[in-house]
Structure 1
């Protein structure tokens, strides 16, 4: 097989088990051979049709809720971009040979997203295993048998209990996201004047219900006509990442006021991060701007390089002082620092990876996209420029990672 091209269409149709591909609107795009044969529907009766037109709920059973449960699961996958494993479902299927006659069936479904390069859900993988025979082997009656074995009731009750637990967990995760977003809003500074200088700042949480992250930004007034500005990104998601973010942002803010420069501030932050669980592999970049000397001194701990938009339309990435992320080295090592000059009318841009990184795409492509957007909107005021960058660079359906952005006119 070395060097041979794989026929993925053939692989899909040969997959064991029932697998179908749906659009986010729940319309059949394709189904493998097992799905076609075991569902009792031909390919022509599936492809291009709405899932619940093909498999509606049983109309003579008010307690039938298989369709509603499956639809809720598929919608969660579309909204969150994450797979959803469902509890055991009873979902009866109408006989094609005998219209109006419904066959009692039990299923174990798993639904998963297919994402494009921007993290948008473009397809749904609906994998389902029929377990009707297993249920019957444990006491489920065949159609027409009026008995109600205890085993069936127990199995169905346990399945419903599991489904309720899954729903409670989903709500708990959603609540955790709300708390994390509120914590980030409380910890991140509001846009305001720093000395005589105004910076446009933006923070956009990820669209996924469970994917709140630990991005932050900070601006610190220093003696003289100087300022320290920083952005950072904690590895991980949820409330824990937001809490770590708050500790590291505060620590770097304090270090920027007392340390001898950006490199020393990151060294202090790195030492502090060793005592904070979950802080390992955090990235951060900080810069000290001196308007009297027209210089930017900067240092990066594994973070994406700041962009310097020159007043003549050129874009330079400040990448001459990049070191590994926090905690990447077992021993303390001095961090590098670099200096560049700026002119009045230049603009400094700091950001986190949610703005430019995309799955299956080289980082240089994202950096190039950022540079093009900066050049295109170089005449815009800081707040308008920040909004334009978010509009141009974030995916239409929202990013799968948080985004922090700082626009600082020089």
Structure 2
């Protein structure tokens, strides 16, 4: 196929073949038979299986496989006669881990599309003039250890190794222990000093997490920005007691303050056109006939700008302290992670739009979801492509993207890759 200016573009039928075969290979990995959702937590058996799949994809394409000091996987396609380390590379990819009972597309879509794009370039006889890499960043979702984008945050210095290694999962296992169990070296975690030299641009293709594209009938969009967002742990501690034998006036029940705080969070979010969610809760001792001793809950909050986010969280926290005082319980609030607003640079977005002009006008939209591209944006040029999500459902087994739209995304990524590396048919 060709554009109006005569340049070849990826064939959608070839994109379908390249994408579908890869997609089928990983559909069963980490999928729960009861919920239909995925449980691909960092350094779990499912994660290790997907890492081996990634290694196999690199080997099948004669790409050099590297696992860096932070567990991020890189598959390198180096130009002929390239000598020395990669520099100024075109890098694309995403992540392989999931939230609890997440969907199939969040993360893996970008990696499958990246390998499919490599296949499409090779089928067209294109030899890159600069290195190309497919990357799978480690523990993007933060589902196991509570902090998102661990791999990219460590690489850029946004997360200190000392803090990362002390993070614990729900079973009390630290990240350091988890890495040791799977044969990795915790002492190697830290800033990737070669990142800015090796990566010329990072383009992340991801399923849309929202429903903007369905409403404008477009299979693709470009990202303009990522809302500032963060996670805060609220630890309500009261007094455990008998649920039947303890008078209401004698109780110090942390569940009451927590429940009131949930309602406050919703009201504060509505008032500011933002979002605030308590999605993870741990209750101790968690007995049916026991007043809880402790309720640990995590607030996920996001807003269009930093000042709005800060004001909303401060008001939620103040209200929670007020509820705790009334009920005679203790409250500790700790910020686990805070990510400022990301404004994607205009030049990579302009180049993407120019390359994909044959597809028509591509919407440019913000996103409230965090991504590795956002973490890397302070270090290297970044951009994002979104594939339409017709229902807007994400972080759920019901997450879905039409195969045709996935094929469009893979073909578009191949076109961008080809244009960026200034390659011509050999």
TM over 0.5: no
Taking CA–CA contacts closer than 8 Å with sequence separation of 6 or more, which of the two structures ends up with the larger relative contact order?
2
- CA radius of gyration, larger in: 1
The normalised TM-score by structure 1 is: 0.25
